[in-house]
């Protein structure tokens, strides 16, 4: 069984017993936000781009009309269902994709169920009529209208109404090496339920900008507690590239919500010890730092990091991936 899970700003195609990588797209209720007088208080770049495509110029302090809300919500719903039904085909959809389209995705004929989670799901399933200063009710209504064109059994509703993006979790545990990981203070372990913020670090791109963009995908204006930064490093790292990463990480920590919350890092390459040490010794990061390597996780995953075990200092890392139950065998 394949399932589309929609939880802004990502979609995840899952098979029973497994979970594929998410496919993030810049669609969501809070791309434009406004106050009780409909005065715009927030505009994301993706929101401005789509509104311009619809012929609207939007600026902070401007009023948003009901027609603008309706047109915007309908347009986002159309793009969303396009991605689910056949993958991105329109130029605007390609522009809104955060990552490349899922490989080998053949469209709706490959999908048996669609499940929505997160705040907008309350509107998609018509469970919450209240507006929260954003496009949520209009987006949910239009998504629901599009879904009515699809076979009735394809839309699944979770048994519990939730605003978190995880409905269920498939778990597996990795034994990370303590020899290549960095633990500045063992008192910062164990830790449970860290939300993964995944970022791909590439040559030529400012690391701090990349990290800030990854945070914004989850409507996070700055680094805060309860997060694990998951860094995918392209190329073969050397001293200068590790230093560049450390500089970018240290930069986003400057305006973090909590100056004392530990920094939890996961890396796909064996540079955790070097990176953690550099952050402490060269960039004088005061907070506790836990950096583990050989871990590949993605957006919408959550992780637990256990205490160091035994003389080998193995660090157990449990990855919880978004999955969905099924009441029948497929």
- Return the minimum-mean-pLDDT range out of 151-160, 231-240, 268-277, 320-329: 320-329
- Cross-strand partners of 319: 172, 303
Phi-psi region of 104 (alpha: psi -120 to 50; beta: other; left: phi over 0): left
Whole-number pLDDT of residue 10? 47
Write down the mean pLDDT value for the chain: 81
The pTM of this model reads 0.52
Contact 264, 305 (CB under 8 A): yes
Q: What is the C-alpha to C-alpha distance for residues 317 and 190, in angstroms, rounded to an integer?
A: 10
Residue 310's pLDDT band, with cuts at 50, 70 and 90, is low
- Beta strand pairing status for 10-15 and 22-24? antiparallel
Residue 24's pLDDT band, with cuts at 50, 70 and 90, is low
Q: What is the C-alpha to C-alpha distance for residues 187 and 189, in angstroms, rounded to an integer?
A: 5
Whole-number pLDDT of residue 73? 94
Residue 269: pLDDT over 70: yes
Neighbouring C-alpha atoms within 13 Å toward the C-beta of 329: 0
- Return the minimum-mean-pLDDT range out of 189-198, 235-244, 246-255: 235-244
Give residues with Cβ within 8 angstroms of 294, minimum separation 6.
174, 176, 177, 180, 267, 268, 270
Phi and psi, residue 172, nearest 5°: -150, 155
């Amino acid at each position: 069984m394949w399932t589309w899970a929609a939880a802004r700003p990502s979609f995840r195609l899952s098979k029973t017993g497994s979970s594929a990588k998410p496919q993030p797209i810049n669609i969501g209720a809070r791309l434009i936000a406004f106050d009780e007088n409909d005065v715009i208080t927030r505009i994301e770049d993706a929101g401005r781009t789509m509104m311009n495509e619809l012929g609207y110029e939007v600026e902070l302090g401007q009023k948003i009309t009901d027609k603008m809300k309706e047109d915007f919500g309908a347009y986002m719903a159309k793009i969303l269902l396009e991605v689910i039904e056949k993958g991105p085909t329109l130029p605007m959809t390609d522009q809104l994709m955060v990552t490349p389209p899922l490989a080998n995705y053949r469209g709706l004929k490959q999908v048996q169920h669609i499940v929505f989670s997160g705040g907008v799901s309350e509107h998609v399933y018509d469970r919450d009529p209240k507006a929260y200063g954003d496009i949520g009710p209009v987006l949910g209504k239009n998504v629901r209208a599009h879904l009515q064109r699809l076979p009735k059994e394809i839309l699944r509703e979770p048994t519990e109404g939730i605003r978190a993006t995880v409905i269920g979790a498939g778990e597996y545990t990795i034994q990370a090496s303590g020899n290549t990981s960095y633990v500045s203070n063992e008192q910062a372990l164990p830790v449970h339920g860290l939300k993964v913020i995944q970022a791909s670090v590439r040559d030529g791109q400012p690391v701090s900008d990349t990290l800030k963009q990854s945070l914004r995908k989850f409507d996070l204006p700055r680094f805060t507690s309860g997060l694990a930064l998951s860094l995918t490093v392209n190329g073969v790292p050397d001293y200068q590239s590790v230093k560049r990463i450390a500089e970018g990480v240290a930069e986003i920590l400057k305006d973090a919500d909590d100056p004392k919350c530990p920094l939890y890092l996961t890396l796909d390459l064996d540079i955790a010890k070097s990176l953690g040490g550099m952050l402490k010794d060269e960039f004088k990061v005061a907070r506790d730092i836990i950096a583990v390597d050989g871990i590949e996780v993605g957006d919408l995953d959550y992780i637990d990091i256990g205490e160091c075990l035994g003389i080998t200092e193995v660090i157990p890392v449990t990855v919880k991936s978004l999955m969905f139950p099924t009441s029948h065998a497929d």
